[in-house]
């Protein structure tokens, strides 16, 4: 997969050199190109922004540097033999970035990221490139960042770990908490490793029992406990067929009851962990 990032803070993308994404690059699974938007400014001050039409606070990123940057990197990529680019535009006004979208992006051969600062990019830039390629406007959550660079790191890491040969075990994505198509998307419960006692704290006995069935049940109960506490919306969204008899017992203990349609709704405020 080829990745291009155009930014006024190329150094912000340094983390793409380390850890999982860095390894994916070293292994040749990822071909990353970071570009400085100011390379496509031609005035003394390397201006990339201007005041918004219609007034209001803040500044808007200008069309010309973005257009020239994108034209150049697209031409370079096509020349190097790449095809099928998609534009990924990080913006708090975008669609929520989910595991499902990460899977979709991981199946594309070439992603071009346009992280913006200020109040965003002149709309005509997205409208122009949308006539030539798919455009994904994505938000990484309900909060406002000063710029899209951190979102590029988030999206890139979520996508890179899905590429074949990047994580050790290709099967491992199937049990990701938010794997698309899972019957129930539950949060993972707690995990433990050696030593068996630390500062007077033991490991839950069941994990030392060697009884795989009981361990699986305990993990499922802990997943239900955490999900009801931290993400009740995930329980409410679940297909009721995803819950077996033991799940229903646990949900009842946690204060949840099925509606007539079978979906679960909180009866009382969930008991704290
Ligand atoms: Cl993608 N960009 C910015 N600036 N803020 C955000 C965001 C993106 N996602 C959530 N907040």
Pocket of ligand 1 (CB under 6 A): 90-92, 138-141, 143-145, 147-148, 151
The pick from 101, 119, 139 for probing ligand 1's pocket by mutation, whose C-beta has the most ligand atoms within 8 angstroms, reads 139
State the catalytic residue, choosing from 68, 104, 157, 176.
176
Q: CB under 8 Å to 193, separation ≥6 — which residues?
A: none
- pLDDT for res 175: 66
Q: Mind listing the pLDDT tens digit for each residue in 145-175?
A: 999 999 999 999 999 999 998 886 565 687 6
Low-confidence ranges of the chain (pLDDT < 50): none
- pLDDT for res 272: 55
Q: In the structure encoding, which two tokens stand for residue 85, read together?
A: 């680019």
What is the Å distance from ligand 1's center to 147 Cα? 7
CA distances in angstroms from 89 to 83, 96, 126, listed in the order given: 19, 12, 8
Instruction: Look at strands 110-113 and 85-96 and give their pairing.
Output: parallel
- Whether the bond between 195 and the residue before it is cis, its omega within 30 degrees of 0, is yes
Catalytic status, residue 92: yes
Counting atoms of ligand 1 from 1, which one is nearest the CA of 148?
Answer: 2
Catalytic status, residue 119: yes
State the catalytic residue, choosing from 50, 71, 100, 119.
119
- For residues 88 and 105, the answer to whether their CB atoms sit within 8 Å is yes
Task: Assign residue 104 a region (left: φ > 0; alpha: ψ between -120 and 50; beta: otherwise).
Answer: alpha
What percent of the chain shows pLDDT beyond 90?
85
- pLDDT for res 68: 99
Rounded to whole angstroms, the Cα distance separating 12 from 9 reads 5
- pLDDT for res 203: 98
Q: Which of 166, 38, 31, 17 is closest to 111 using CA atoms?
A: 31
The residue whose CA has the least distance to atom 3 of ligand 1 is 145
- pLDDT for res 269: 58
Catalytic status, residue 27: no
The residue whose CA has the least distance to atom 7 of ligand 1 is 92
What is the Å distance from ligand 1's center to 91 Cα? 5
- pLDDT for res 179: 83
- For residues 129 and 87, the answer to whether their CB atoms sit within 8 Å is yes
What is the Å distance from ligand 1's center to 212 Cα? 42
The pick from 126, 144, 150, 155 for probing ligand 1's pocket by mutation, whose C-beta has the most ligand atoms within 8 angstroms, reads 144
Counting atoms of ligand 1 from 1, which one is nearest the CA of 147?
Answer: 4
Catalytic status, residue 237: no
SS (H, E, C) the chain: CEEEEEECCHHHHHHHHCHHHHHHHHCCCCEEEEEEHHHHCCCCCCCCEECCCCCCCCCEECHHHHHHHHHHHHHHHHHCCCCCEEEEEEEEEEEECCHHHHHHHHCCCEEEECCCCCCCECHHHHHHHHCCCCEEEEECCCCCCCCCHHHHHHHHHHHHCCCCCCCCCHHHHHHCCCCCCCCCCCCCCCCCCCCCEECCEECCHHHHCCCHHHHHHHHHHHHHHHHHHHCHHHHHHCCHHHCCHHHHHHHHHCCEEECCCCCEEECCCCCCC
What is the Å distance from ligand 1's center to 246 Cα? 40
State the catalytic residue, choosing from 10, 52, 92, 180.
92
């Amino acid at each position: 997969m080829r990745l291009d990032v155009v930014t006024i803070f190329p150094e912000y993308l340094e983390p793409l050199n380390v850890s999982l994404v860095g390894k994916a690059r070293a292994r040749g699974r990822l071909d990353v190109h970071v570009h400085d938007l100011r390379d496509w400014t031609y005035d003394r001050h390397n201006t990339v922004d201007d005041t918004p039409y219609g007034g209001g606070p803040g500044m808007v990123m200008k069309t010309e540097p973005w257009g020239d940057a994108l034209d150049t990197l697209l031409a370079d990529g096509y020349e190097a033999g790449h095809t099928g680019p998609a534009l990924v535009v990080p913006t708090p006004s975008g669609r929520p970035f989910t595991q499902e979208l990460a899977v979709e992006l991981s199946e594309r051969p070439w992603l071009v990221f346009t992280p913006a600062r200020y109040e965003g990019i002149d709309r005509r830039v997205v409208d122009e490139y949308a006539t030539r390629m798919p455009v994904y406007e994505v938000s990484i959550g309900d909060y406002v960042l000063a710029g899209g660079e951190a979102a590029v790191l988030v999206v890139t890491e979520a996508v890179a770990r899905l590429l074949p040969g990047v994580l050790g075990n290709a099967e491992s994505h199937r049990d990701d908490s938010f794997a698309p198509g899972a019957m129930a998307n539950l949060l993972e419960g707690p995990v433990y490793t050696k030593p068996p006692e630390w500062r007077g704290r033991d490991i839950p006995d069941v994990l030392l029992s060697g009884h795989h069935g009981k361990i699986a049940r305990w993990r499922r109960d802990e997943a239900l406990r955490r999900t009801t506490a931290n993400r009740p919306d995930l329980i409410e969204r679940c297909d009721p067929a995803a819950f077996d008899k033991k799940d229903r017992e646990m949900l009842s203990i946690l204060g949840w009851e099925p509606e007539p349609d079978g979906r679960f709704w909180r009866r009382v405020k969930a008991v704290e962990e």
